[in-house]
Chain A
Amino acid sequence: MAKTYFTEDHEWLSVDGNVATVGITDYAQEQLGDLVFVDLPEVGRKLAKGDTAVVVESVKAASDVYAPLDGEITEVNGALSGDPALVNSAAATDGWLWKMKLADEGQLAGLLDEAGYKAHIG
């Protein structure tokens, strides 16, 4: 059963075993506005926590999405190439960005749960 975590940078992680599916929260997509392009990373890329993993582009601006934890990219959401607005319409589900194999599951302890994230965005 997957467990969901959040970051203060408005990402969600759905963690199943040692693989996390990562996306941005509905709050984040609302702040960004209509997305027109998602610059996805290469599968196999190794990320350290805080690295820019994805760049999401709205009509007006480009914004970085950071790696929430250390790990390696195992899959990216190819559907976003044709329909980047999926991130707006389904941020928490079909609009996921990438999957990563976690290097250290112990890092999960530093993330927020849903109640903690809700408190964070006020």
Chain B
Amino acid sequence: MTGDATKTLPLEDLHQAAGAKFGAFAGWSMPLTYPAGVMKEHQHTREHVGLFDISHMKLFAVSGAGAAALLNRACPIDAEALEVSQSKLTFFLNDEAGILDDLIVTRLGADRFMVVANAGNAIADEAHLKALARDFDARVEPLDRVFLAIQGPEAEAVLAKAGVDGSSLTFMHGFEPRPNWFMSRSGYTGEDGFEIGLPEADARALLGQLLADERAMWIGLAARDSLRLEAGLCLHGNDISPDTDPASGALMWAVPKEIRSSGTFIGADALRAIVEKGAARKRVGLKPEGRQPVRGGAALFDADGNPAGTVTSGGFGPSAGHPVAMGYVSTPLAKAGTKLFADVRGTRVPVEVSALPFTPHRYRKG
């Protein structure tokens, strides 16, 4: 962040009318909670449909004969191998294989891709990708869109009632259903759901219908965080950062096997060296014993009191019914069931290394 004034969402008036409480996140004034409160918002998303305004995130159209080659350079991805409409989680890495940002790339056509970037990194991402694009026959175009997430088991039905048919999409696929719309079946909650980037006027019309459906309600950033944490999904800046790499982050599943050895993406040599040597630490789920939440930043210790790692995200899981956390531990301690202790205000809270996610993913895989 460069100290610029806090940005406001294009639909801020709708959130105000819905009674949102706002707070700053990644340079944006964002709805944190609505009058229902974080617990109800969280549960409503798992049971029905949550509407999230994620317009702080940025969409980039990448096009041209060299678009796939550009993405293969910028990300540990095989863009040529993506089928049209297929989406992939990927990263921008630095030369040390540190994670500059995590992104979703979707192939829209032979020479066209959509890249979705995190709010806090959007400006740096744009500069990074545009600088790389000079060496390729490719254009990088940031898009001015409202971006909505419609998440939960009834998302497809609620959208269908509003005249938007997402039934042809399976998880991690996307397309352009209307001019200047981008819609993918993906999300950040562990539930089935969609993300739609669209012009503001279209968004207001669509929301008029969605909000009239009692199955759907606005969900704030607080519940977005508890939902993604239960789902074991990383928040960039907390759980992954330029100081962590895909191997330590337990995210190598996102790096196709073929390019681990042959890829020429930025950070490839460093990532190969880390994989060959074995990552010294690993991202794991952490389940605190009892009811006391363990928060990001808490130090972890083994049973003998030796430093074991750090918590990177933690809070309460309303669906799990207990505190949930994520963090990094030395690789020998990364096995599920390992007992550790987190320092919370001077008290050692027992935590257990736990498999992620805490609540099962319910994606529509086809």
Contacts and interface: CB of A to CB of B under 8 A. Distances in A.
Interface of A: 31, 33-34, 36-37, 39, 55, 57-62, 81, 84
B316 A59 contact: yes
A55 B345 CA distance: 10
Given A37-B292, A39-B292, A60 B226 contact: yes
B345 A60 contact: no
Given A55-B345, A58-B38, A59-B39, 20 more contacts: A33-B37, A33-B222, A34-B38, A36-B293, A37-B291, A37-B292, A37-B323, A57-B292, A57-B293, A57-B316, A59-B38, A59-B222, A59-B316, A59-B318, A60-B38, A60-B225, A60-B315, A62-B293, A62-B295, A84-B291
21 contacts: A31-B21, A33-B33, A34-B37, A34-B38, A36-B291, A36-B293, A36-B316, A36-B323, A37-B291, A37-B292, A55-B345, A57-B316, A58-B316, A59-B39, A59-B222, A59-B223, A60-B38, A60-B226, A60-B315, A62-B293, A81-B291
Nearest to B35: A30
Given A39-B345, A59-B316, A34 B225 contact: no
Contact of A37 (B293, B318, B345): B293
Interface in B27-49: 33, 37-39, 42
A37 B222 contact: no
B39 A34 contact: yes
Contacts of B323: 36-37
Contacts of B38: 33-34, 58-60
Q: How large is the interface on B (under 10, 10 to 19, 20 to 34, 35 or more residues)?
A: 10 to 19
A26 to B, nearest CB: 14
Interface string B201-230: 000000000000000000000110110000
A28 to B, nearest CB: 13
The 5 A-B residue pairs whose C-beta atoms are closest, nearest first, are: A36-B316, A34-B39, A59-B38, A59-B316, A60-B222
Contacts of A59: 38-39, 42, 222-223, 226, 315-316, 318
A106 B70 CA distance: 72
Contacts of B318: 59
A35 B194 CA distance: 30
Interface in B312-345: 315-316, 318, 323, 345
A91 to B, nearest CB: 14
Contacts of A31: 21
Contacts of A61: 295
B310 to A, nearest CB: 17
A61 B292 CA distance: 11
A37 B315 CA distance: 10
Contacts of B223: 59
Interface in B212-267: 222-223, 225-226
B290 to A, nearest CB: 9
A62 B293 CA distance: 9
Contacts of A81: 291
A36 B288 CA distance: 13
B316 A37 contact: yes
